Amino acid sequence: MLARIKQFFGIGGVSVELQVDETLSQSAGYVLGTVILTSKSPQQVTGIEVKLVGTITRGPVGERRTHTHECGKVTPSEAFEMTPGERKEVGFRLPIENLNTTFYQTLGNAGGMLGAIGQIGSMMDEEDHDFRVHAHVSVKGSIGTGQSQRVQIVSD
């Protein structure tokens, strides 16, 4: 019984490590990365999903509004079995779509004088951008596990 409860909550099951560059180029159009899985016990991985999620927060303190949107998604692997002590690396190419960046952010990424104008405009508009790559691994008989990494997307 205890083994089933531990399995459900992912205790002693599959561990996930996400490797992706911290700075990404918007003009590249995709994110390259690797999901690294290790297992302490026999497991059946039923799927892997990797998403790029953007969060934009606008407005003055006390009136801030947050909008979260998906900027790309990929499922880089089919189901497979893992044995105790096994390490598996699954590479992925995640398309960057629908960033919803603002005029000020585009200027801010330009650098130089235009970059300074963009950063000042963004501060005056009280706008923050946060982008994260999320990797979720579905495991049979478990709620699954995952990892998230913050990334910065820059315009070239």
Q: What is the pLDDT of residue 95?
A: 92
Domain ranges of the chain: 2-99+128-154
16/7: higher pLDDT: 16
Q: What is the pLDDT of residue 86?
A: 94
77, two tokens: 């692997």
With helix as H, strand as E and coil as C, how does 35-63 read? EEEEECCCEEEEEEEEEEEEEEEECCCCC
Instruction: Tell me the pLDDT tens digit for each residue of 97-142.
Output: 866 555 555 556 556 776 666 666 666 666 778 899 999 999 998 8
Q: What is the pLDDT of residue 10?
A: 47
Is-above-0.95 flag for pTM? no
Q: What is the pLDDT of residue 141?
A: 85
Q: What is the pLDDT of residue 79?
A: 92
Give the ranges where the chain is alpha helix by DSSP (H): 2-8, 103-108, 112-124
Half-sphere exposure for 88 (CA within 13 Å, toward CB)? 20
27/114: higher pLDDT: 27
111, two tokens: 């650098």
Topology of domain 2-99+128-154, CATH: Immunoglobulin-like (2.60.40)
146/2: higher pLDDT: 146
Cβ(44)–Cβ(70) below 8 Å: no
Nearest alpha-carbon partner for 10 in 62, 100, 96, 82:
82
